[in-house]
């Protein structure tokens, strides 16, 4: 009986560790995050109690970008030029890594990167972590998707992603220009970034990101 009880406790511990491990975006609310103040999931969806888990590895792109594809019905409003103090629940920082933040105005079909942190993202992070990300001053008004991507430095070759549903108050119509996100360690057709606790960290791939311009029509 003691042996059965021991294994039951061990399984419970491992289950808890699975939920707590890795990293998830909670400000602005990543889709279906359980954090206090986040909206209820849209109809037909449920809270993601494994929000900190990766969306895939170099061998297996298990989940889509954003992890969840159905947007929140309630959006957080930000002004163009405003800085979002993004915050994260950290279970395991895996030595830090590379982060990208991007915007989409067409529900994830086209993305433009608005901030990149090479190597130092989450390095030496505690249980809580914050990164300021500024919405461009020339960002057009409209409903937008705010995406965070992270490639960890140490451990399995993984990709993490969460998305927040926001509304931007800016210019009435216009465009936003930058580069498309680098999608790495997300299936065999993606860029492969090896572990980089020391030595080369694959940053040269970020220099090859393709230029992109997103056009947003003016409202009448």
- Beta-bridge mates of residue 24: 89
145 within domain boundaries? yes
CA distance linking residue 106 with residue 47, whole number of Å: 24
Answer yes or no: is 201 within a domain: yes
20-31 pLDDT tens trace: 458 999 999 999
Domain annotation covers residue 51: yes
Is residue 92 one of the residues assigned to a domain?
Answer: yes
Residue 4 lies in a domain: no
Query: Is there a domain that residue 210 lies in?
Result: yes
Hey, which residues does 175 pair with through a beta bridge? 215
User: Residue 35: which domain range?
Assistant: 22-216
Asked whether the beta carbons of 158 and 56 are under 8 A apart, the reply is yes
- What is the total count of domains within the chain? 1
Per the domain annotation, does 54 fall within a domain?
yes
pLDDT digits (tens, 9 = 90+) for 152-188: 999 999 999 999 999 999 999 999 999 999 999 999 9
- Residue 189, helix vs strand vs coil: coil
Instruction: Read off the pLDDT of residues 59-79 as tens digits, 9 standing for 90 and up.
Output: 999 999 999 999 999 999 999
User: Which tokens go with 170?
Assistant: 């800016």
Residue 194 lies inside a defined structural domain of this protein:
yes
- The helix or strand, by DSSP H or E, that contains position 5, with its residue range, turns out to be helix 2-20
Q: List the CATH number of the domain containing 115.
A: 2.70.50.70
* % of the chain beyond a pLDDT of 70: 90
Residues 100, 149: Cα–Cα separation, whole Å: 5
């Amino acid at each position: 009986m003691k042996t059965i009880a021991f294994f039951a406790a061990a399984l419970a511990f491992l289950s808890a560790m699975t939920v707590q491990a890795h990293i998830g975006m909670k400000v602005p609310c990543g889709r279906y995050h359980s954090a206090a103040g986040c909206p209820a999931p849209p109809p037909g969806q449920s809270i993601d109690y494994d929000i900190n888990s990766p969306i895939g590895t170099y061998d297996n792109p298990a989940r889509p970008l954003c992890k969840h594809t159905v947007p929140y019905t309630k959006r957080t409003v930000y002004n163009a030029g405003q800085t979002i103090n993004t915050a994260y629940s950290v279970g395991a920082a895996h030595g830090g890594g590379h982060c990208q933040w991007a915007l989409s105005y067409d529900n994830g079909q086209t993305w433009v990167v608005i901030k990149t942190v090479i190597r130092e993202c989450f390095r030496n992070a505690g249980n809580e972590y914050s990164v300021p990300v500024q919405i461009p001053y020339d960002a057009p008004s409209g409903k937008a998707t705010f995406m965070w991507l992270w490639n960890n430095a140490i451990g399995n070759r993984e990709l993490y992603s969460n998305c927040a549903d926001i509304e931007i108050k800016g210019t009435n119509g216009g465009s936003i220009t930058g580069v498309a996100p680098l999608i790495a360690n997300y299936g065999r057709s993606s860029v492969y970034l090896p572990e980089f606790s020391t030595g080369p960290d694959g940053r040269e791939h970020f220099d090859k990101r393709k230029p992109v311009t997103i056009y947003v029509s003016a409202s009448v």
